[in-house]
Structure 1
Amino acid sequence: MKIMVLPGTIWQVPLMKKIKSMGYELYLANPVKNEGVYEIADHFLETDIFEQDKIISYCKKERIDVVMSEECDIATDVIAKINKEIGANSISTEMADLFTNKFLMREFCKTHHINPIPYRLCENMNEALEFYKENSPKIIMKPLDSNASHGVFTVNSELDIVEKFEETLRFSRNSKRVLVEKYIEGVEFTVDGLMTENGHVTLAISEKEHYKHNNNIANALFFTQQNMRFDYDLLRKTNDNLINATGLPFGLTHVEYKFYEGKYYLIEMAARGGGNLISAIIAPFMANIDNYDYLINKTINPNYNCKITADIDNDRTAILKFLDLPCEGGIVKKIAGEEYLANTPEIKSYKLNFSVGDYIHQPESDSVRIGYYIICAETRSRFDEIIKNISDKVKIELEDKDNER
């Protein structure tokens, strides 16, 4: 069995390692050989993932059985198109469109009466301004199919549209139009799941927090089985019903919601696992299942059947925490406490995207945050202990000593 994975970044490494552990021959396609990634594969194709004709030709020549990806929005429709051409098991291109095009998501909710909200597809700035006048004082402006929050803006005035419309438009990849939506107040959640032959199973739920300087960029995703302030059983039911209604045949899912006046409203959904290792580390930990094992087996064998049940009767607690600064930025003078991040068993992954001497600043999108850590603890009390230790031990000192974290 020959399996190709694309792209080839650190976020695909867990899937790649799982494929190799199952004894399959691994191919990797990516524009560059990322150190620590390409070495895992048996074969490497140097190519942009959007050069689909080149990849299809290579797959046919090498007799590759199926192409897979994970934690990557922009690969969803690419994978569907390539697998269709090589006759491999995959979601359809139409299904890929539904799970990547934010306008189609809004249309789906409206058609199926799943807590729809006002929205409009705009080809020009005047249409966006018209929608704002009808739905002020606040709306959201989004590209149709961007990733990592690129081009997403909260609009509080007509001037915001004038200043940001063209930037939002640039991040719409496949259709140069912009989606505007009525702004829904409330707390935001992420829900990771798995579509099986027996229906969709919700695996892990997080309550999101956002950076103060940009409330469209998350700085923490806090995972628990229940939440005293919000009905997670209702959220599981809402999420499972939504994904089941789409007809998605199989695969991992990642969906974002906002809770407002007793209802969970869809923000967006994806036919892939949550990024930044949520699906690789946190979702299987919280649900106590091997989601990658199921995904790979179902991909290579459409008749594969395995009963999946999420284990939620426990006190497991997890977090994906992104680092931030108490100031606009500065030059890093000292990093303290990294040994604690490296040596604590419950800290499953961490990364500092900077070194001493680097200039760091508050992130402008999801893809340029300065670092993160992931905690997976069996109990809330142990989780709280680790959080306190990180707060006490892990410090980023800037050259200006008043700006120390």
Structure 2
Amino acid sequence: MKKLMILGAGISQLPLIKTAKRMGLYVIVISRQGNYPGFALADKVYYEDTTNADSIVEIAKLEQIDGICTTGTDVAVKAIGKVADTLGISGISYESAKLSSNKWEMKQAFMEYGVRTAKFLKVNNKEEAHNAFKSLSPPLIFKAADSGASKGIVKVTDAAQIDYAFTQVKKETKLDFFIIEEFVEGTEFGAQAFVYNNQIQFIMPHGDLMFYGDAGVPVGHYVPYHSSDKIEEDIRLQLEQSVRALRLNNCAINADFIIKDNRVYVLEIGGRAGATCLPELVSTFFGFDYYEQIVRAALHMNPDFRIHSAQPCACALIISDQDGEIVSLENGNVPHEDIIQVSFDYEIGDHIRKFRVGTDRIGQIVVKGRSLEGTMKRLEEVEGNITITLRQP
């Protein structure tokens, strides 16, 4: 029986763990301690921080694993790279993982390889942050170089906001610096892709449904994403250049883009599959089980990325605009073939937080339809039939 190590036991990794178990694999799950649902399904659990690459390498050696993977999280990618390099198994390299996990190193690589991206500066203190505001063209984005799930990102439009933004970003980073980049005014969207044996297997551009707080946070996605032939060519070009810049191979890709003046700018590229229901959209849109192909790629078991369909579909997070204890969770939707999933991450009595970043989600919805217009209408209907009652703290 092949052994697969999965980093993370949270709600994003749960479908990956379930898929690996369905495939008959021996599944080792690694995560720091907590109330994470993936622990209950694992054959073996190690309580370890997934950012501790050296410890994870030692566990991988001890267990003599055949493969390693994750989904929906940036913080585990460097450990995957180190394990893949040390054991000689399939996966992103450590060099590539470092480039794609540190936004400062990523941006430098983008500049070297001609990837179109926003102007940026590295800052170490408040004085440098104020100087950056003067030398760059606001609005600006203050961004932790090592964060994920939209944490440590603050949009700054006025000099009076600099001290607040500085404090918020410093809370979310383990580094002694962060980056400030110009905010590109345009239409945000993203793409999922996979690189295997140095070939891009597919590219799936997707539209983004955004929540705006300190910065834009995706709360949903939809496909197909309609754009001109010129934009489609530019998406592929920028993604190919990003893959070369970051030396990505044998891994999923989560890309964040923005269109301005008919040109595609690369915001970030991650060496893992996206969160916010994105693997479910890949599976639904293309007609193959994306989680299964991620596992197969990690084990060098002939992943099959052949496209069988172009099924319009959409997803959205279930979120709250306030903190509180859940009194009731009601899904008033009648079962329908176009409603793929309505799931809740919490139960009655649990405490939830007002939505600010991706990890504040309460659940998710995935739907499909005959057309994109019909799909979005279905998504709106399903959202309207979900009622969450809270008791205020």
Q: Is the 8 A contact 1:203 1:284 kept in 2?
A: no
Counterpart secondary structure, 1:70: coil
Q: Which residue of 1 is the match for residue 149 of structure 2?
A: 148
Given that 1:150 and 1:365 are in contact with CA atoms closer than 8 Å, whether structure 2 keeps it comes out as yes
1:249 and 1:396, CA in 2 relative to 1: closer, same or farther beyond 3 A? closer
SS in structure 2 of the partner of residue 32 of structure 1: coil
Distance 1:65 1:196, change over 3 A: closer
Question: What one-letter code is carried by the residue in structure 2 that aligns with 1:340?
Answer: N
Per-residue CA shift, 1:237-278, capped at 9, x if unaligned?
432443255432211110001111111111111000011331
Matched position secondary structure for 1:37: helix
Indicate how the Cα distance of structure 1 residues 394 and 298 shifts in structure 2: closer, same or farther if over 3 A, else same: closer
- Is this contact kept in 2: 1:3–1:64, CA < 8 A? yes
Query: CA-to-partner distance for each residue in 1:165-206, whole Å, 9 max, x for gaps?
Result: 133123223x32110001110111110011123621344222
Q: Tell me how far apart the structure 1 counterparts of residues 378 and 367 of structure 2 sit (CA, whole Å).
A: 8
In structure 2, relative to structure 1, the CA distance for the partners of 1:310 and 1:161 (3 Å cut) is farther
* Of 185-194 and 202-211, the range deviating more from structure 2: 202-211
Instruction: List aligned pairs for 1:46-195, cutoff 5 A.
Output: 46-173=47-174, 175-195=175-195
The CA distance in 2 between the partners of 1:12 and 1:36, in whole Å, is: 9
Which segment is superposed worse, 22-31 or 179-188? 22-31
* Unaligned 5+ runs, structure 2: none
2:318 is equivalent to residue 317 of structure 1: no
Change (3 A) 1:42 1:274: same
Tell me: CA distance 1:96–1:146, structure 2 relative to 1, closer, same or farther (3 Å).
same
Distance in 2 between residues matched to 1:274 and 1:228, nearest whole Å: 24
For residue 340 of structure 1, the aligned residue among 333, 338, 351 is: 333
For 1:322, give the aligned amino acid.
L
Which is further off, 91-100 or 288-297? 288-297
Q: For residues 241 and 291 of structure 1, do their structure 2 counterparts lie closer, same or farther at Cα, with a shift above 3 Å needed? A: farther
Task: Give 1:282's aligned amino acid.
Answer: L
Deviation at 1:51, TM superposition (A): 4.2
Between the two proteins, the alignment pairs up a number of residues equal to 391
Deviation track 1:56-77 (CA, whole Å, cap 9, x = no partner) reads: 3333333223332222110000
In the alignment, the residues of structure 1 paired with residue 22 and residue 358 of structure 2 have an alpha-carbon distance, to the nearest angstrom, of: 31
Deviations 1:256-308 (A, max 9, x none): 011111111111110000113312x111221223434433333323xx66674
Q: Structure 1 331/103 Cα, relative in aligned 2: closer, same or farther at 3 Å?
A: same
The amino acid of 1:81's aligned partner reads: K
Q: Tell me if the contact between 1:203 and 1:310 (Cα under 8 Å) persists in the aligned partners.
A: no
Residue identity matched to 1:217:
V
Task: Write the distance in 2 (CA, Å) between the matches of 1:19 and 1:8.
Answer: 13
Post-superposition CA distance 1:120-155 (Å, at most 9, x none) = 111112112111112243110000110111110001
Q: By how many angstroms is 1:215 displaced?
A: 4.1
1:35 Cα deviation after fit: 6.2
SS of the aligned residue for 1:73 comes to: coil
1:368 to 360, 363, 367: 360
Partner SS, residue 74 of structure 1 = coil
What's the CA shift string for 1:326-352, capped at 9, x where partnerless? x6667766554x0417x3343333344
Summarize the Cα distance change of 1:150–1:134 in structure 2 as closer, same or farther, 3 Å threshold.
same
Query: What is the TM-score when the length of structure 2 is the normalising length?
Result: 0.87
Report the alpha carbon displacement of residue 84 of structure 1 after superposing the two structures with TM: 3.0
Alignment correspondent of 1:298: 297
| Conserved 8 A contact 1:197-1:305 | no
Equivalent position of 2:369 in the other structure: 377
Call closer, same or farther: CA 1:126–1:382 in 2, change over 3 Å: same
Partner of 2:257: 257
Letter in 2 for 1:56: V
1:12-41 Cα shifts (integer Å, max 9, x gaps): 122223323333222122233756422322
Identical columns (%): 19
Cα distance 1:393–1:28, how it changes in 2: closer, same or farther (>3 A)?
A: closer
TM-score, length-scaled by structure 1? 0.84
Contact conserved, 2:276 with 2:358, CA < 8 A, in 1?
A: no
Within 5 Å, which residues of 2 pair with 1:18-57? 18-32=19-33, 34=35, 36-57=37-58
Q: How far apart are residue 3 of structure 1 and its match? A: 1.6
Aligned-residue RMSD, C-alpha: 3.1
- 1:320 partner letter: C
Cα pair distance change 1:177/1:255, threshold 3 Å:
same
Tell me, in whole angstroms, the C-alpha distance in 1 between the residues paired with 2:30 and 2:323. Answer: 36
For 2:197 and 2:110, locate their aligned partners in 1 and report how far apart those are by CA, in whole Å.
Answer: 23
Q: Which amino acid in 2 is paired with 1:190? A: G
What letter corresponds to residue 183 of structure 2 in structure 1?
A: Y
Listed as ranges, the gaps of 5+ residues in structure 1 are 401-405
After superposition, the Cα gap between the structure-2 partners of 1:394 and 1:167, relative to the gap in structure 1 and judged at 3 Å, is closer
Which residue of structure 2 aligns with residue 283 of structure 1? 282
For residues 72-104 of structure 1, give each alpha carbon's deviation from its aligned partner in whole angstroms, at most 9, with x where no partner exists. Answer: 110000121233334433322110011111112
Could you say if the C-alpha distance between residues 95 and 321 of structure 1 is closer, same or farther in structure 2, counting changes exceeding 3 Å? same
Conserved? CA contact 2:5–2:67, under 8 Å: yes
